[in-house]
Amino acid sequence: MPLGTWLKAGTSATALVLAMAGAATAAPAPAPAGESPAAQAAAVTLRYDDSRAAGWEAAIAAGVASWNANVSNVHLVEAASGTVAEIVIVATTGWPQATLGPVRPGRQVRVELGSQAVDQGYDKTRIAAHELGHSLGLPDTKPGPCSQLMSGSSAGTACTNATPNATERSRVQSAYASGVAALAHTDGRMLIDAP
């Protein structure tokens, strides 16, 4: 076979392998109901580190799943060991609190999941989802009903809602609508969620 034919075959095979590899690594996560795959592909990915939040793992996973199921412009993923996370989650003995975002890739916010709220009867999953909401740029909406995730402790200890309502979802979608470039700068304020 002439050298030119070998080079064409090799170039075509290489292009095919590269195209297939790119497709495998660029596959977006499933979009929330009603969202287009194109909208999901533009999502900002934020990593979280919960390695210092012992006892909160299930609540954090449920809170992350709630946000990922309800917004498409931002996607939360657990940080791989040894990588820097945008959202650092720690367990504390005080009241839950978090840095107000929206956090951008390469920046960092802190979420403190305080056992004092759990000791008083508040739901761990609601706490985790609420504090993650602060990281995504949502302030408290106190006082407020249980249907508002960001009403936090003002909804009472019987409230276990960990799902953002339509307004909360819309605000996060808007904050991350144009990808990383349009995000507001994190102001660094810690919001303490004591009643």
**CA nearest neighbour of 116 among 88, 153, 80:** 153
> Can 35 be counted among the known catalytic residues?
no
Q: Are strands 109-114 and 97-99 parallel, antiparallel or unpaired?
A: antiparallel
Per-residue H/E/C for 97-139: EEECCCCCCCCCEEEEEEHHHHHCCCCHHHHHHHHHHHHCCCC
Give the integer Cα–Cα distance in Å for 141 and 45. 26
Catalytic residue among 35, 78, 86, 131: 131
What single letter denotes the amino acid at residue 176? Y
* HSE, side-chain direction, 13 A CA sphere, residue 3: 0
Active site residues: 131
